[in-house]
Amino acid sequence: MKKVVAAAKTIDDAVRKALEELGVTRDKVSVRVLEEPSRGLFGLIGSRDAKVEVEVNVDPVDQGLAFLLDVLANMNVDARVETRPVEDGILFDIQGTNLGIIIGRRGQTLDSLQYLVNVVANRHADKHVRIILDAENYRTRRKETLEQLAERVAKKAVATRRSVRLEPMSAAERKVIHSFLQKRADVVTYSEGDEPNRCIVIAPKEASR
């Protein structure tokens, strides 16, 4: 976090001086007045300049984006990142070619990178911001795949009247399946096991726990 102390005849002049040194605009900083200006005796003797401390506010989105771009550069990944608000946070959409290295097996690399970006973005932030990483529209495609799997397994569980245990998944992927199958009245879902081997069980209503 950058901050400077500046002095001038007035508070406004001191702030302006600090902004010029920091190279930012007024809306990007917090100002603390350290000393009020004083004219002194007869406006001459003992006069004192105003003194302010100006600190650049931490923008978690900027922090997270800078970190992500640095990681991509170190990985020699030629990509650009577009940011936009989404329902549950801020989306960092990584765009480029051959981004498989960023996604990893079943999105594990993307999830790990998302975790790190959020840690860096929020470590000095006053208000927590949730950042979601995506690449090559992987999140949407994976969600559709999981929902298709959930529908298929739910039908199997009902037809056979037996519970079906899925392979281990991340908490985010388990949430997709839980949410998707809530609309069905003939099955229930629950999670079993410990991380990282925690998985979902889809069971017909009469065979549920």
Q: 68 vs 44, 125, 157, 174, CA distance in Å?
A: 54, 17, 42, 26
Q: Using alpha carbons, select from 206, 158, 147 the residue that is nearest to residue 181.
A: 147
**Residue 206 above 90 pLDDT?**
no
Q: Using alpha carbons, select from 31, 29, 25, 26 the residue that is nearest to residue 11.
A: 31
- Mean model confidence pLDDT for the chain: 88
pLDDT confidence band for 4 (50 / 70 / 90): confident
Average pLDDT over residues 140-169: 93
**Residue 2 above 90 pLDDT?**
no
Which tens digits make up the pLDDT trace of 52-109?
Answer: 898 888 889 989 999 999 999 998 888 999 999 988 899 999 998 888 889 988 888 9
Contact between 158 and 207 (Cβ < 8 Å): no
- What pLDDT was estimated at residue 123? 87
Average pLDDT over residues 115-125: 90
Structure tokens at 7: 């002095």
Which tens digits make up the pLDDT trace of 26-66?
Answer: 888 888 998 888 876 555 555 788 898 988 888 899 899 99
**Residue 159 above 70 pLDDT?**
yes
Average pLDDT over residues 143-169: 93
- What pLDDT was estimated at residue 44? 55
